[in-house]
Amino acid sequence: MADWLTPEAWQAVRLSLWVAVWATVCSLPVAIAVAWLLARRAFWGKQVLNGLVHLPLILPPVVTGYVLLVTFGKRGLVGPALADIGVVFSFRWTGAALAAAVMGFPLMVRAIRLSIEAVDLRLEDAARTLGASGAWVFATVTLPLALPGVLAGAVLGFAKALGEFGATITFVSAIPGETQTLPSAIYAALQVPGQDAVVARMVAVSVVLAMGALVASELLARTLRRRIEGRDA
Amino acid sequence: MLEVAINHRFGSFDLDVDFAAPAGLTAIFGQSGAGKSSIINAVAGLLRADNARICLNGVDLARLPVHLRRVGYVFQEARLFPHLSVRGNLGYGRWFRKGGLEFDRVVGILGLEALLWRRPAGLSGGEKQRVAIARALLSNPQILLMDEPLSALDGARKAEILPYLERLRDEAGLPILYVSHAVAEVARLATTLVVIEAGRVLRAGPAAEVMGDPAMAQAMGLREAGALIAARVVEHAADGLSHLQTTGGIVVLPRVAAAVGAEVRLRIPAQDVMIALSHPQDISALNVLAATILSIRRGEGPGAIVSLDLGGERLLARVTQRSVEALKLAVGMQVYAVLKSVALAQGDIGS
C-alpha cells in the first residue's frame, strides 16, 4: 500500500491535509464573525466589507497570491513586523495555509451567512426577553440553529483549501515537504515525461479526499438537522 | 403597578397611549391594527418607541436593554427553541435570572410533568403554548406580557389553557399585560381593561366598569358587548341548576363549577337582554330582574343600547330604536330585564 504512491507524493498528501485543516480551523471563527456581521448588522461600509470578502473568489488566484506576497512576504508590508514576533509566512507551510484560508474564506462566509439569515429573528427576540444579552443569544440560539450551514461552510472551505493551487504557488512556491501541496505535486509531476501513473494516482487521492469530506459533512449535517428540528427521539 | 406612556410613529400610524395597570390582569383590547401588539412590544423593548416611559415599581424600563427588563413574554406563536427539549426551554431564562418561582411548582401549575423530555416539534399547539407560558414564568419576571396567546388555538385548546391563565392571575402575584381582541377571553380574565382604537386609549378602568359602559359597546363589537356583574353562589339545586345572588336578585344558571359561597362574575351579552315594562308572566325565561334605566344610547343603525341599574351593578341591553319608541322608554323608568343567557365569566374571584 505504501509504495502505491511515491514517498514524495505521500508527503504532498500529508502536507495538503495539514495545511487544509489549519486553514479551516483558523479561518472558521473569523468567517462566522464576518457572516454574522453581514447577516444581522447594518453599518457603514457593509458593502465594502462584503466586496472585500468576495474578492478572492473573483480575482485571478495568481493576483491574490501576489497581494499576499507583497503584504506578508519577507519584504512585504507587514511581513518583517510579523517576523519580529516570530510569525513567518513566506516559503513556509504556514504561508500555504494562509493562502488556502484566504481563498476558501468567501465560500465559508457565503454558506454561514445564508444559514444565519435563515434563523428566525423571532426566536432571538424571545431569547432576549428571557434575559440573554446579544452574545448569549448568538451562542445559545443563533449559532446552534445555524450549525448545519456553518458545517457546510467549513467543509467547502476545507475542500477549497485542499485544492488551492494558484495563490499558494505564487505566494510560497512549491518546496517539497514545506509548501508543495497535492495540486502542486500533481502539476510538478505533469512536467516530467513518463509520470502518468503517478499523476493518475495522485488525482485519484485528490478526488477521494474531496468526496470523503463532502459525504462526511452531508451525514453530519443530516444528523445535526434532525437534532435541531427536534423530532422526539 | 405599571404605568405606560408611549408615543411612536410608524409611517402614517401614530401610537399615543397612556395608562396604568394595577395588580392583576390588565387586558389591552382592540381590533387588529389598533396598536395593541406595539404597546407590549414597547414594554418588552422589542419595539424602540420614539418616546416611552414604562414605570414598573418606580423603575423606568424604557431605559434598560431588553434582556435586563425582566419581562416574561408569551408570544402568539409559542416561539419555543427547536434545538432544546421542553426542559431546556423551561430552564433557558433561569440561566440568566436566577430565583423567582420554583421550577416544580410552575411545571405543576401548567401540567407539564409528562412533557419535560419531549422536543417542541412533537407537541400540540396547546402544549406548546403551556410550555411557552411556563418558560416566561420561570425566567423570574417582574411582569408577564401576553400577546394573544390563545388566538392560534382552536376552541378545545383554548378551553384547556384558560384555567391555567386564571390560576396565574390569582396565584402567581405578577402583574399581567394581556393583548386580545376576543371579548369572551377579556371578560373571563381581565381585572382591568384598556380599550385601544387607532393608536389611542379609548377607555381604561376596572373591567366590569368598562364593559358596562354603553359608550364602549361599539368598540367591543355590538354582537359581543355585554356587562359583567358580580354574583355569589347561594345554592346548587337538585334539578341541576345553580342559584346565584346578584344585586338585582337571584339569577339561575345551569350548574356552575363553583362552591356555595364563592364570589363569581357573570357575563350577560347585551343582545341577550330583553326589556319588559311589567313582570312578564307565562314566559320560559327564568331570569327576570327589576331594573332602572340609566341611559339610552341610540346607535347609527336601527339599534340602541340601554344601560340598566341593578341596585348598584350595571347591565346593558341591546334593543331596537323602534322598541324604545313603542315602550316609551326613558331614563329613570322602572323596567324588568329578561335575561336570555347568562354565562359564568370568572370563577371564584375570591374575597
- The DSSP element (H or E) to which B11 belongs, if any, is none
Q: Same structural domain for residues B70 and B148?
A: yes
Q: Same structural domain for residues B289 and B204?
A: no
Q: What angle do CA B246, B272, B149 make, to 5 degrees?
A: 85
Burial grade of B170 (CB within 10 A; 0-12, 13-18, 19 or more):
middle
Neighbours of B58 (CB within 10 A): 7
Which residue has cell 350548574?
B255
B218 lies in a domain? no
Helices B125-137 and B155-167: crossing angle in degrees, nearest 10, is 20
B24, B174 in Cβ contact below 8 A? Answer: no
B277 lies in a domain? yes
Range of the domain at B145: 2-211
pLDDT band at B46 (very low <50, low <70, confident <90, very high): very high
Q: Same structural domain for residues B7 and B90?
A: yes
Q: Same structural domain for residues B145 and B270?
A: no
Which residue has cell 476545507?
A158
Q: Same structural domain for residues B256 and B189?
A: no
- Give SS3 for B307: strand
pLDDT band at A7 (very low <50, low <70, confident <90, very high): confident
Nearest to A232 among B93, B96, B118 (CB): B118
Q: Kindly compute the dihedral angle of the four CA atoms of residues B304, B310, B313, B319, in this order, to the nearest 10 degrees.
A: -10
B22 lies in a domain? yes
* Numbered residues of chain A with Cβ closer than 8 Å to any chain B Cβ: 120, 122-123, 125-133, 136, 140-141, 144-145, 227-233
Q: Same structural domain for residues B25 and B54?
A: yes
Q: Same structural domain for residues B206 and B244?
A: no
Q: Which of B211, B237, B258 is the last residue of a domain?
A: B211
> Is residue A229 over pLDDT 80?
no
pLDDT, residue B348, reads: 54
pLDDT band at B255 (very low <50, low <70, confident <90, very high): confident
B72 lies in a domain? yes
* Per-residue pLDDT tens over the stretch B68-113: 999 999 998 899 999 999 999 999 998 888 887 888 988 888 889 9
> Is residue A58 over pLDDT 60?
yes
* Numbered residues of chain B with Cβ closer than 8 Å to any chain A Cβ: 44-46, 65-73, 75, 77, 79, 81-85, 92-93, 95-97, 118-122, 135-136, 139, 145
B123 lies in a domain? yes
Nearby residues of B207 by Cβ (< 8 Å), 6 or more positions away? B27, B186, B187, B190, B191, B192, B193, B228
Least confident of A62-66, A86-90, A141-145, A157-161: A86-90
Residue B275 belongs to a domain with what CATH number? 2.40.50.100
Question: Who wins on pLDDT, B267 or A109?
Answer: A109
* Per-residue pLDDT tens over the stretch A200-214: 999 999 999 988 888
How high is the ipTM of this complex? 0.83
B217 lies in a domain? no
The whole-angstrom separation of Cα A184 and Cα A175 is: 9
The whole-angstrom separation of Cα B230 and Cα B225 is: 17
> Is residue A99 over pLDDT 90?
yes
pLDDT, residue A2, reads: 57
Q: Find the mean pLDDT for residues A94-115.
A: 93
Counting residues of chain B whose pLDDT is more than 90, the rounded percentage is 25
- The overall longest dimension of chain A from CA atoms, in Å, is 69
Mean pLDDT (chain B, rounded): 87
Q: Same structural domain for residues B66 and B205?
A: yes
Yes or no, beta carbons of A140 and B77 under 8 Å apart: no
Question: Who wins on pLDDT, B350 or A224?
Answer: A224
> Is residue B20 over pLDDT 50?
yes
B193, B207 in Cβ contact below 8 A? Answer: yes
pLDDT, residue B28, reads: 93
Residues of B in contact with A232 (CB under 8 A): 118-119, 121-122
Nearest to B119 among A127, A136, A232 (CB): A232
B293 lies in a domain? yes
> How many Å from the N-terminal Cα to the C-terminal Cα in chain B?
20
Q: Same structural domain for residues B58 and B207?
A: yes
pLDDT band at A231 (very low <50, low <70, confident <90, very high): low
> Is residue A54 over pLDDT 80?
yes
Q: Residue A99: which of A19, A206, A216 has the closest Cα?
A: A19
Yes or no, beta carbons of A230 and B119 under 8 Å apart: yes
pLDDT band at B351 (very low <50, low <70, confident <90, very high): very low
Q: Same structural domain for residues B246 and B299?
A: yes
* Per-residue pLDDT tens over the stretch B263-314: 888 888 888 899 999 888 888 888 899 999 998 888 777 888 899 998 888 8
Q: Same structural domain for residues B33 and B179?
A: yes
The whole-angstrom separation of Cα B37 and Cα A149 is: 33
CA distances from A119 to A30, A89, A115, B64, B254 (A): 19, 38, 7, 25, 50
The whole-angstrom separation of Cα A203 and Cα A162 is: 12
Yes or no, beta carbons of A122 and B75 under 8 Å apart: yes
pLDDT, residue B297, reads: 87
> Is residue A230 over pLDDT 70?
no
- Measured in residues, chain B has a length of 351
> Is residue B350 over pLDDT 80?
no
Residue B151 belongs to a domain with what CATH number? 3.40.50.300
B220 lies in a domain? no
Question: Who wins on pLDDT, B160 or B81?
Answer: B81
Q: Which letter, b or e, does each residue of A16-35 get, where b requires 16 or more Cβ atoms within 10 Å of its Cβ?
A: bbebbebbbeebbeebbebb
Q: Same structural domain for residues B25 and B95?
A: yes
Q: Find the mean pLDDT for residues B39-55.
A: 91
pLDDT band at B195 (very low <50, low <70, confident <90, very high): very high
**Shortest CA gap B341–chain A (Å):** 41
A134: closest chain B residue by CA? B67
pLDDT, residue B347, reads: 62
pLDDT, residue A1, reads: 53
Q: Which of B211, B237, B270 is the last residue of a domain?
A: B211
Residues of A in contact with B135 (CB under 8 A): 130
Question: Who wins on pLDDT, A147 or B159?
Answer: A147
Question: Who wins on pLDDT, B51 or B159?
Answer: B51
pLDDT band at A233 (very low <50, low <70, confident <90, very high): very low
Q: Which of B150, B181, B211 is the last residue of a domain?
A: B211
Q: Kindly compute the dihedral angle of the four CA atoms of residues B116, B118, B119, B125, in this order, to the nearest 10 degrees.
A: -90
* Per-residue pLDDT tens over the stretch B104-154: 988 888 889 999 999 998 898 888 999 999 999 899 898 999 998 888 777
Q: Determine how β-strand B176-180 pairs with β-strand B192-197.
A: unpaired
The whole-angstrom separation of Cα B212 and Cα B219 is: 12
User: Grid coordinates standing for B114?
Assistant: 409528562
B120: closest chain A residue by CA? A230
Nearest to B139 among A130, A140, A227 (CB): A130
- Give SS3 for B3: strand
Domains of chain A: 2-229 (1.10.3720.10)
Q: Find the mean pLDDT for residues A5-11.
A: 85
Q: How many domains does chain B have?
A: 2
